[in-house]
Structure 1
Amino acid sequence: MTHPVRVIVGVLLVLVGVLWLLQGLGYVGGSVMSGVTLWAIIGPVVAVAGVALALSGTRRRP
């Protein structure tokens, strides 16, 4: 992936991960995922992966 694409995909993963975390904790309702603890675990993992991907897209290569 090119660098801008990595940053964009990384940011999207962070947003999705935070949404899944909030749904898993029951703060966002209206979904089958709401209140399910599994999504409260998967969400932060996806968000951290998104941060890592976004940061890898911002690093300069020599």
Structure 2
Amino acid sequence: MKKPAWVVLGVVVALLGLVFTLQGIGVMKGSSMSNNTFWAVAGPIIIIVGLAVAAAGARGRSR
């Protein structure tokens, strides 16, 4: 995958992690994930993974 694709993928994953976190802590309601401790904990971990992927994609490697 090219560098911009990794950055976009990382940002999308981080945004999904944010949604999961907000659902887990009950800010976003309307799903089975609302007020669920698992998603309140998993969401920030997913955000960190997404940001790491985006950072690695932005840094890139020369071949």
Q: Settle same-fold status: TM greater than 0.5.
A: yes
For this structure pair, what is the TM-score category when the shorter chain's length is used for normalisation? Answer: over 0.9
Aligned length: 62
Show the counterpart of 1:3: 3
2:48 partner amino acid: V
Q: Which consecutive unaligned segments of at least 5 residues does structure 1 have?
A: none
Q: Which consecutive unaligned segments of at least 5 residues does structure 2 have?
A: none
1:43 partner amino acid: G
Show the counterpart of 2:36: 36
Q: Provide the TM-score with structure 2 as the length reference.
A: 0.92
| Moved >6 Å (runs of 4+) | none
1:40 partner amino acid: A
RMSD in angstroms over aligned alpha carbons?
Answer: 1.0
Q: Provide the TM-score with structure 1 as the length reference.
A: 0.93
1:19 partner amino acid: V
Inter-partner Cα distance in structure 1 for 2:60 and 2:15: 24
Show the counterpart of 1:17: 17
1:25-48 Cα deviation digits (max 9, x unpaired): 000000010000000011001100
Identity percentage of aligned residues: 42
